Structure 1
Amino acid sequence: MENDISGNGRRNFVKSGATALVGGALLAGLPIDAFGMQPQKEIRIGLVGCGGRGTGAAHEALKTSSAVKLVALGEVFEDRLNSAYQNLKNTYGSQVEVPDSNKFIGFDAYQKVIDSCDVVLLATPPPFRPLHLEAAVKADKHVFIEKPLFVDIPGYYKIMEANDLAKQKNLNLGVGLQLRYETGYQKMKAQIDDGMIGDITSLDVYYNVGAPKIHPRQPGQTEMNYQVRNWRYFTWLWGGQLAGQTIHQIDLINWFMNDYPMVAKGLGGRQSFNGPDQGNTYDHHYAEYEYSHKIKLHVQSKTMDNTWNKVGFHIQGTKGYANEKSEIYNSANEPIWRYRDQEETVGPTQKCQSDFIKSIIEKRPLNQVDYGAKSTLTTVIGRMAIHSGQIITVEEALKSTRSILPKEFSWDADTPSVPGPDGNYSIPVPGKTKVL
């Protein structure tokens, strides 16, 4: 298994991947039926994880072609499964053919979905992703995997092993890092690659938003059930905000850089989160990443209500800079390029899913796990650095065998973090918390 992400191999991989993506993605959002390319047989898909993102992924898959049929749903919460089913059935009618016998509830629902379809959409919280991908690939299924791909280093290795097997079996693997499909960013990357802003000198990423929804604890609810309901408040379930949200902008910067950071340091904490209802995640993060040639990426993200919000990025070069609005300015702060297409109605999330479905219909190879895993690894070393207060390198991180997951997945299983006598959870303490 190849795990090296340093040197020329790393840069050459990203350049070749970027070229292939730009070539195929510009029309990916349009319905395939519009091109007279209706496939000869149905594409039978199953959805594992019926929350908002999973329901959205199913919408986008069904919209791609009328030959796509949703035939199975899997969830740990019945109310979410029923809500997703009704939403999708109301919208797509006969394209949604999920009998009660194909509505699976429980931690083993993923395997039953895999056994019932040809193509699997994985959209559960991320710690389940490595196990689910492994099972789907062993069953010879094409798979769309939501981001992030894992939350710890053992998860990274399981994902990469499944990826190697998928390549051997010629299975297509798509990843939900859709900003690479944004037309403005594709065209802006071409301008940056051609030298419009000169040599890149520094980078900034922002993901400053409000706090996730809290689902109050219910009478008789097990600790595992409570934590899974509130997964964005627990590190083992979310991977922290860098992995759960900021990964979109971090992945975009990795793509622009044709590179991946090899070193991370940072700081963070809880300033607005408090009490047992908000688990053990930090509510603010700062990470400083270092690419080759000592170029640094500065990442700030927070989940605080009633504070200033910004989601975006800034790429500084010797001749000017670029930003998340697909704008480029010169060193005198004068606009010199921008992308605007008022007629473009298909967003990058639809394009990303459509490209995956089309790749299966057209029998065109597609594998996005290589860059998806490396960008996820970027977020993991950032979280490690923030929680420990130490400088973390990719090299030393990849030697770690430390898992942050429970030993088993069941409603009665022990969780990695449990409430103390006061009801609060243990919070990572820089300088004391061990991450490797």
Structure 2
Amino acid sequence: MLETTHRNNPSVTRRDVLRAGVAAAGAGLAGPLVGRAFGQPEAGIDESDAGQSALRVGLIGCGGRGTGAAIQALGAESGTVLHAVGDVFQGRIESCLELVAQESDAERVRVGEERRFVGLDAYKHVINSCDVVLLCTPPGFRPVHLREAVDNGRHVFCEKPVAVDGPGVRSVLESARIAQEKNLALMSGFCWRYQNQCRETFAHLHNGGIGALRAIHTTYNTTGWVEPKPRQPEWSDIEFQLRNWHYFSWLSGDHIVEQAVHAIDWIHWAMLGQMPTRVTATGGRSTRPDLPETGNVWDNFAATFEYEGGLRAFHMCRHWPNTPSDNTAYFMGAEGYCAMNPWTQNH
């Protein structure tokens, strides 16, 4: 079931030129993702796409986030077409394509049966078929997928988080360096970096609106995660964990990495990319039920980030049922105070 299934198709080479931005490494991976491809149609490329300078988008990971990313990619540029998709589960591919066609221009959803790839190695076939790839699988796979994409000269939207552990982070930093050398666009999924209110708030901070920063506190507190799926008799161990990927740290990095990284990125943004000199953290599993499908992830974390000059930033996140949700950043300055909550649009 997890082996790749696809029809034989001719090799696809990318067009010679793409207008695109340059990758920037680190937490703020950002650059224009969508450019326009141009040139003559090549062998193996649908002329209805190539001849009209269409930018062929490939989606790797057809769950909720991947489906949303595909819809957004088609909405961002009229010259884009969804050209290939891949997932480990056939059912997700079909539901994804149906929803993208409903929410977008259905004529630009041009994913033939021969470009619907199923399996753990589906990413290779999608990357080989497209100009731009959207990396939206569980993040445990992200470093491998990103390296394959930049090695093959593809422009990339790389959903956050970009990795779940130290080796993965180092791999991503090297991939960002490669992308920069190749003049490839590489864009992360830190959505608040592109939200106008957040940009205005951080511009105010960086322009001295509350004086020199003294302390930062961020939260990502919610009542829980997606509903876990009990194991079915026909599932292998790997399928069981993939269908409950949020709850296994090798796939998700736990919720502090998979979700709360947004609030930790606010700290990094406020500090203009300055790295802390020390981080201390604690966490535990207080309310999450001990079931096979809830894996090994915790339900609460707290971390303290120490910086040169004495500034400290504090972060907490939790998944506790029947508790208030909160996603706020508090910035304390020498001359004032700022609070920001994008969920409620209070800045």
Q: If the TM-score is normalised by the length of the shorter chain, which range does it land in? A: 0.7 to 0.9
Looking at structure 1, the residues matched to 159 and 166 of structure 2 have their Cα atoms a distance apart, in angstroms, of 18
Matching residue within 91, 96, 114 for 1:101: 114
Looking at structure 1, the residues matched to 220 and 197 of structure 2 have their Cα atoms a distance apart, in angstroms, of 19
Looking at structure 1, the residues matched to 304 and 220 of structure 2 have their Cα atoms a distance apart, in angstroms, of 14
Matching residue within 39, 47, 50 for 2:62: 50
- Cross-structure match for 1:293: 309
Alignment of 1:348-387 (within 5 A): none
Q: Is the 8 A contact 1:119 1:142 kept in 2?
A: yes
Instruction: State the secondary structure of the residue aligned to 1:250.
Output: helix
- Cross-structure match for 1:88: 100
Matching residue within 141, 153, 156 for 1:128: 141
Kindly state the Cα deviation for residue 61 of structure 1 after the two structures are TM-superposed. 0.5
- Cross-structure match for 1:181: 194
Looking at structure 2, the residues matched to 160 and 200 of structure 1 have their Cα atoms a distance apart, in angstroms, of 28
Looking at structure 1, the residues matched to 295 and 86 of structure 2 have their Cα atoms a distance apart, in angstroms, of 26
1:95 to 1:40, Cα distance in 2 relative to 1, 3 A: closer
Q: CA RMSD in A?
A: 2.5
- Cross-structure match for 1:234: 248
1:265 aligns with 2:286: no
Looking at structure 2, the residues matched to 240 and 224 of structure 1 have their Cα atoms a distance apart, in angstroms, of 18
Kindly state the Cα deviation for residue 241 of structure 1 after the two structures are TM-superposed. 1.5
Determine which structure has greater relative contact order: mean sequence separation of CA pairs < 8 Å that are 6+ residues apart, divided by chain length.
1
Looking at structure 2, the residues matched to 188 and 211 of structure 1 have their Cα atoms a distance apart, in angstroms, of 29
Matching residue within 296, 316, 325 for 2:332: 316
**Which amino acid is 1:86 matched to?**
E
Looking at structure 2, the residues matched to 185 and 220 of structure 1 have their Cα atoms a distance apart, in angstroms, of 46
Which whole-Å deviations, capped at 9, do the CAs of 1:244-277 have from their partners, x for residues lacking one? 1111121122111112323111211111112223
Kindly state the Cα deviation for residue 68 of structure 1 after the two structures are TM-superposed. 0.5
1:71 aligns with 2:83: yes
- Cross-structure match for 2:263: 249
Q: Which of the pair is proportionally richer in helix?
A: 1
Q: Which segment is superposed worse, 256-265 or 241-250? A: 256-265
1:156 aligns with 2:172: no
Q: Is the 8 A contact 1:45 1:120 kept in 2?
A: yes
1:283 aligns with 2:295: no
- Aligned-pair identity in percent equals 37
> How many residues in Structure 1 have an aligned counterpart in Structure 2?
302
Instruction: State the secondary structure of the residue aligned to 2:231.
Output: coil
Looking at structure 1, the residues matched to 134 and 308 of structure 2 have their Cα atoms a distance apart, in angstroms, of 35
Looking at structure 2, the residues matched to 83 and 261 of structure 1 have their Cα atoms a distance apart, in angstroms, of 43
- Cross-structure match for 1:360: none
Looking at structure 2, the residues matched to 195 and 163 of structure 1 have their Cα atoms a distance apart, in angstroms, of 31
Looking at structure 2, the residues matched to 245 and 211 of structure 1 have their Cα atoms a distance apart, in angstroms, of 11
Q: Is the 8 A contact 2:60 2:123 kept in 1?
A: yes
Looking at structure 1, the residues matched to 176 and 298 of structure 2 have their Cα atoms a distance apart, in angstroms, of 31
Kindly state the Cα deviation for residue 325 of structure 1 after the two structures are TM-superposed. 4.2
Consecutive unaligned residues of structure 1, counting only runs of 5 or more, are 1-12, 33-38, 327-337, 340-436
Alignment of 1:330-345 (within 5 A): none
- Cross-structure match for 2:211: 198
TM-score by length of 2: 0.82
Kindly state the Cα deviation for residue 66 of structure 1 after the two structures are TM-superposed. 2.1
Q: Which segment is superposed worse, 191-200 or 80-89? A: 191-200
Instruction: State the secondary structure of the residue aligned to 2:328.
Output: strand
Looking at structure 1, the residues matched to 170 and 341 of structure 2 have their Cα atoms a distance apart, in angstroms, of 36
TM-score by length of 1: 0.65
Q: Which segment is superposed worse, 117-126 or 250-259? A: 250-259
Consecutive unaligned residues of structure 2, counting only runs of 5 or more, are 1-23, 37-50
1:158 to 1:194, Cα distance in 2 relative to 1, 3 A: closer
1:224 aligns with 2:238: yes
Instruction: State the secondary structure of the residue aligned to 2:99.
Output: helix
Q: Is the 8 A contact 1:66 1:95 kept in 2?
A: no
Instruction: State the secondary structure of the residue aligned to 1:117.
Output: coil
Looking at structure 2, the residues matched to 269 and 313 of structure 1 have their Cα atoms a distance apart, in angstroms, of 23
1:152 to 1:248, Cα distance in 2 relative to 1, 3 A: same
- Cross-structure match for 2:182: 169
**Which amino acid is 1:226 matched to?**
F
